[in-house]
Structure 1
């Protein structure tokens, strides 16, 4: 009888623990960021995939940028496209959108259910329409059985965002602002190219993503008080020296234009550290490493030293397929 009583008590305790864990999961849904690809494009590298990320917030999952190799990176973590509810594109450089045709096309080929919503700056609809147009020949072929299929116009939705826009996806509030990755703000055209940074808010917790940006007061304001800031970073002098060395044929005018772009439209460790400190960021994750082709360890000390001049919080240098969780407060 004593043994039965002990077993019963143990089972009751286990049931209670399971109930407590289930209750905790309901009150604290997951908020996770996975760096699928951490390269600083547009030059492919052998050790890092092109820029792409996976946000998991409660029961909502979204790709945030989708560089070449995105679907392969998902597969390497045992994830498939049925898990993806949305895609957020920061801007229209190919290293951030090169994997989007596979995301759309493979969902279609595999007849995956549900609608995929693709968010991005003006021009996103044109890109998606173009991707769907390229599927015309395959839709006429089908699987070679004489049956035609229709390109996925009904299963893909596009929402174009502008600076200051906010949208909700499930329980997640997404805020977008224009950053300083382009110099076209002076044009004043309503359809001009813009580059966006995003903040993903789940209850009191948040993750802010830079996309590609230089120093930006708007981006700094967006990141204020965030739990996790995921930001690009550039080691400027070595990358310029590398371009000089590997591209001696580059015309001087083109090199000067490239130098201006890299120095004003991307963010250095010193500038990023100052931004993170002023914004009171809890934790900083570096990705999209604009560095010469070499092991990241070669540049880690330089990156950390520049950031630490102003920012004393935790700094992590992401690798492909790494996850970062934001704990409940």
Structure 2
């Protein structure tokens, strides 16, 4: 499905419908290798991780703009508001890629889906790990009361169930529209005992490859040698980080989780150096300081960008 770069709003428009193309696959377009080098940028819509509200950060969500199309990676709390701050509306993000199914990475999805539906977006495709279909069914159920009213008001023919489409993925190539090819790697964010029912859950890192451009999103992860290989040679690594202050702020019983299933500044530097990336962009962060940057710099000689909401980086 072609990405919607912008939407024209008619003054005074309060109610709208959605054109649906249920079951259609993204238009592959020409082969990636035949296209000129893509223009690309990363817009950090939200950079906060976890369930705690922060006055200075919205929930984790990143917009990749590449080859004239937009791709949303994770949909944390406040994503629609942050799109508005960027001069966009919800339909500007027709393709969503969820790295895993912790709530701080998807709670903004309901607003994104419902407002996109109301504003006549053709469809919303949501790619995520096993369990995403259940999540999308819940989103659709939440959309239904408003949709029934708008159907009565506007005579809409399509239903939310035809608009929001779930695509569950596993490791390997998960998407290719001719503009970008997206690959997924199981990372080390979850650490369940072998006999735990939680072992069915997976957390992924994602790599987006376009003509002459590549970008890797770690998602939430602990240290991982496989991830360094997965990110090898990428232009940009958008990496989570548990800063020194973030680690100290959590209760002592949470710190082992922070150490095993998130990246310390030192581990971010090791990962970036092993992968040979050009730029690291830090996100999923709280309070960062010079000591964090110094730890990364002790391992990595490339560009370091400390993320903040609405920060745009071109590459």
Say yes or no: TM over 0.5: yes
Residue matched to 2:106: 97
Residue matched to 1:79: 88
In the alignment, does 2:311 pair up with 1:315? no
Q: Displacement, 1:146?
A: 9.0
In the alignment, does 2:248 pair up with 1:241? yes
- SS of residue matched to 1:201: strand
Q: Displacement, 1:290?
A: 4.2
TM-score (norm 2): 0.83
Distance 1:92 1:282 in 2: 29
Residue matched to 1:181: 189
- SS of residue matched to 2:284: strand
The question of whether the paired residues in 2 share the 8 Å contact of 1:116 and 1:157 is answered with: yes
Q: 2:255 pairs with 253, 259, 283, which one?
A: 259
Residue matched to 1:248: none
Residue matched to 2:236: 228
In the alignment, does 2:284 pair up with 1:288? yes
In the alignment, does 2:173 pair up with 1:165? yes
Which structure is higher in helix share? 1
Q: Displacement, 1:143?
A: 6.9
Q: 2:57 pairs with 40, 44, 48, which one?
A: 48
RMSD: 2.2
Q: 1:275 pairs with 248, 271, 282, which one?
A: 271
In the alignment, does 2:51 pair up with 1:60? no
Q: 1:206 pairs with 206, 214, 228, which one?
A: 214
Distance 1:148 1:117 in 2: 20
TM-score (norm 1): 0.79
Residue by residue over 1:111-141, the C-alpha shift from the partner in whole angstroms, topping out at 9 and shown as x without a partner, is 22x2221111111111001110122322333
Distance 1:78 1:221 in 2: 37
Report the CA distance shift for 1:287/1:240 in structure 2 as closer, same or farther (over 3 A): closer
Write out aligned runs for 1:289-304 (5 A). Answer: 289-291=285-287, 299-304=288-293
Which structure's CA Rg is the greater one? 1
Residue matched to 1:11: none
Give ranges in structure 2 of 5+ residues lacking alignment: 1-34
In the alignment, does 2:19 pair up with 1:37? no
Q: Displacement, 1:184?
A: 3.3
Report the CA distance shift for 1:187/1:221 in structure 2 as closer, same or farther (over 3 A): farther
Residue by residue over 1:137-174, the C-alpha shift from the partner in whole angstroms, topping out at 9 and shown as x without a partner, is 22333376495765312122211111223320231010
Question: How many residue pairs get matched?
Answer: 281
Q: Displacement, 1:104?
A: 0.7
Report the CA distance shift for 1:188/1:162 in structure 2 as closer, same or farther (over 3 A): farther
Residue matched to 1:124: 132
The question of whether the paired residues in 1 share the 8 Å contact of 2:38 and 2:67 is answered with: yes
